[in-house]
Structure 1
Amino acid sequence: MRLVSHPVLCNYYVTYRCNASCSFCDIWERPSPYVTLDNARQNLRDLKRLGVRVVDFTGGEPLLHRQLPELLHEARQLGLITTITTNALLYPKQAERLRGLVDMLHFSLDSPVAEEHDRLRGVACFDKVMESIAIARQLGERPDILFTVFTHNVHQIRQMHEEICLPNNLVLILNPVFEYNTVETGDRLSAEALTQLSWWGRQKNVYLNDAFVQLRRDGGNHISDPVCKAGSTTLVISPENKLVLPCYHLGLKDFPITDNLYELYHSADVQQLVALEGRLPGCEGCTINCYMQPSFAVEVNKYWWRALPSTLKYNWVKGTWKQLL
C-alpha cells in the first residue's frame, strides 16, 4: 500500500568538487561548477510545492560552496529539513556561519584510528573531525558521526561508539557500504557483518536502518518486483541545474530546469522515466542507501516495518519528528 505519492527528499548537489579523494567514491573525479543562489531559490520553492520535506545539500564536499549558509537559510525559511554530510576539513572555519542552519549535521568518520581513516579518505582529516566535534558542541550543535561500514572495519564499531560517540553524546550512524558503477568498494558485507550491524542498531546512540540489512540479505532491488522508488520519492539536482533521472548513480538522463522544476517534474518525459524506477537493467541488485531510505518510507511492506523503529528512534533523538508530522 502506497502511503505517499509525491517526492519527499531532494539530493541537491551543490558541487561535485571535493577536497578529499575517497577510495569508495568517484564523485570527486568529475569537473563541476557550483549551483547559483538564484537558481536554488526558485528550485527550493518548487521543491516545497512538490511536497519535498528534506533537502540534503551534498557533493562532492558541500562546504566548498561559499554560499552554503545562504542556501541553508533559504531552505529553512521554507520549512524544509536540512542535512549536510562533510569530511570536516572546512568545518572549523565555517562553523559559526553554519550555526543553527543544519537540522542533521553529519561528520564522516570511517575508522576510530586516524591513520586508517585518513588512508580511506586520501587526505589527513581525522584530526579535523575531532576538532569539529569540539567546536560544534561548543556552539550547541548536535552533529552525528557517519560511519561507512565495510567488512574490514565492522569490528571497529565498538571502539567508535565507546571512545568517540558516547563521550561526546553523538549519534553513530552506521552506513553500510554499497556498490555502484565501477567503483571498487571491496567485498559485499558478509552475513556475519550484517548480523553485527543489526545488533548494533539496537544500542544507545546508534542509528541503523535495519531495512538496509534486510535488503542486502534479499540480494538488493529486483527489477521484477522493485522496492526502489527513487524516481518518485527523490529529486536529484546537479550543479549544472539539471534534474537527473532516475537517480544520480544511474544517471541515464538529465533535464535542464530553467526555473521551472515543478512543471518539469510533471512533464511526460520525466514521468516516463519515473515510471521505470527500480525496473531498469542497472537497478538489479541495487542497495544504494540514499535512494532506499526514502523508498522504505512511502510504501507499507516488510521494509517499511523494518525501517520504522530506527526512523522513529533517530527523529526522536534529533528532535526532527515534529517537522515530519
Structure 2
Amino acid sequence: MRLIKKPVLCNYYLTYRCNASCYFCDIWEKPSPYVKFDNLKQNLLGLKSLGVKVIDFTGGEPLLHQELPEYLSYAKSLGFMTTVTTNCLLYPKKAEQLKGNVDMLHFSLDSFDKEEHDTGRGVACYDFVMESIQIAKRLGERPDIIFTAMNSNIDQIEDIYLQICLPNNLVLIINPVFGYNDIDDGGALSEDNLDRLSAYGKMRNIYLNEAFIDLRRNGGNKVADPVCKAASSSIVISPFNELVVPCYHLGKKKFPIDNNLVQLYNSAAVQQHISLEGRMPECEGCTINCYMQPSFAVEMNQYFWKALPSTLKYNSMKGTWKSMLK
C-alpha cells in the first residue's frame, strides 16, 4: 500500500567533480560543470511545489562548489531539510560558512587505519576528517560518521565506534556497499558480515537501516515485484540542469529542465519513465541505498516495517523529527 505518493527527496548533484578517487565510485571520472544559482532557485521552488522535503546536496564532492553555503541558506529559507556528505578535504576551510544550514552533515570515514582509509579514497583525507570533527564540535555542529561497509573493512567498525564516535558523541552511520555498472565493490557482503552489521545496528549511537540487510538477504530488488520506488520517491537533478530518470545510476533518460521542473516532472514522457522504476532488466538485484532508503518510506511492505525502527532511532538521536513535523 502506497503511503506517500509525492517525491520526498531530491538528490541534487552540484557537480560530478571530486577531489578524491574512491575505487568503489565512478562519479569522479565524469566531466562536469557546476550548478548555476539561477537554475537552482527555480528548481527548488519547483521541488517545493512537488512536495519534496529533503534536499541532498551531493556530487562528486559538494564542497567544491563555491556557492554551496548560499545554496544551503536558500534551501533552508524555503523550509527544506538539507544533507551534505563530504570527504572533509575542504571542510576546515568551509565550516564557518556552512554552520547552521546542514541538518544532516556526514563525514566519510571507512577505516580507523589512516593508510587503509586514504588508499580507498585515493587521496590523503583521514587527517582532514579528524580535524573536521573537532572544528564541527567547536562550532556546535554534530556531524555523523558515514562508514561504507565492505567485506574488507568490516573489522574497522569497532575502533571507529569506540575511539571516534562515542568519545565525540557522534552517530555512526553504517552504509552497506552496493555494486553498480562495473564498479569493484569487493563483492557482495557475506552472510556472516550481514549478521555482524545487523548486530552493530542495535547498538547506541549507530544507525543501520535494517531493511538494507533484509534486501541483500533476499537478493535485492525483483523486477517482477519491485520494492524500488526510486523515480517516484526521489528526484535526481544533474549538474547539467537535467532531470534524470529513473535514477542517477541507471540514468536511462535525461530531460533538460529549462526552468519548468513541475511541468516537466508531470509530463507524459517523464511519467512513462517513472512507471518503469524497479522493472527494467538492470533493476534486477539492485541494492543501491540512496534509492532504497526513500523507497522503504513511501510504501507499506515488509521493508517499511524493517526500516521503521532504525529510522525512528536516527531521528531520535539527531532530533530531526522536529523538522519533519514542520
Q: Secondary structure, in 3 states, of the residue corresponding to 1:106?
A: strand
Aligned amino acid, residue 11 of structure 2: N
Distance 2:55 2:157 in 1: 28
Residue 59 of structure 1: CA displacement? Answer: 0.2
Distance 1:291 1:71 in 2: 23
Residue 153 of structure 1: CA displacement? Answer: 1.1
Aligned amino acid, residue 57 of structure 2: F
2:230 is matched with 230
Distance 2:185 2:3 in 1: 34
Distance 1:224 1:181 in 2: 21
Question: 1:201 and 2:201 equivalent?
Answer: yes
1:243 is matched with 243
Aligned amino acid, residue 13 of structure 1: Y
Aligned amino acid, residue 170 of structure 2: L
**Scaled by the length of structure 1, what TM-score is found?**
0.99
Aligned amino acid, residue 71 of structure 2: L
2:26 is matched with 26
Residue 323 of structure 1: CA displacement? Answer: 2.0
Q: Which moved more, 1:287-296 or 1:307-316?
A: 307-316
* 1:176-191 correspondence runs (5 A): 176-191=176-191
**Scaled by the length of structure 2, what TM-score is found?**
0.99
Aligned amino acid, residue 115 of structure 2: E
Question: 1:70 and 2:70 equivalent?
Answer: yes
1:254 is matched with 254
* 1:150-169 correspondence runs (5 A): 150-169=150-169
Q: Secondary structure, in 3 states, of the residue corresponding to 1:148?
A: strand
> Could you list the runs of 5+ residues in structure 1 that have no partner in the other structure?
none
1:2 is matched with 2
Distance 1:49 1:245 in 2: 19
Aligned amino acid, residue 145 of structure 2: I
Distance 2:268 2:74 in 1: 29
2:283 is matched with 283
Aligned amino acid, residue 242 of structure 2: K
Distance 1:33 1:191 in 2: 41
Q: Secondary structure, in 3 states, of the residue corresponding to 1:7?
A: coil
Deviations 1:125-167 (A, max 9, x none): 0000000000000000010000000011111111110011000
Residue 289 of structure 1: CA displacement? Answer: 0.1
1:13 is matched with 13
Taking only the aligned residue pairs, the percentage that are identical comes to: 67
* 1:1-325 correspondence runs (5 A): 1-325=1-325
Moved over 2 A (4+): none
Distance 1:133 1:324 in 2: 26
Deviations 1:262-314 (A, max 9, x none): 11000000000011110001100000000000000001111000000110111
Aligned amino acid, residue 159 of structure 1: D
C-alpha root-mean-square deviation of aligned residues, in Å?
0.5
Q: Secondary structure, in 3 states, of the residue corresponding to 1:166?
A: helix
Distance 1:157 1:28 in 2: 26
Deviations 1:43-64 (A, max 9, x none): 0011111000100000000000
Distance 2:193 2:56 in 1: 28
Distance 2:167 2:160 in 1: 10
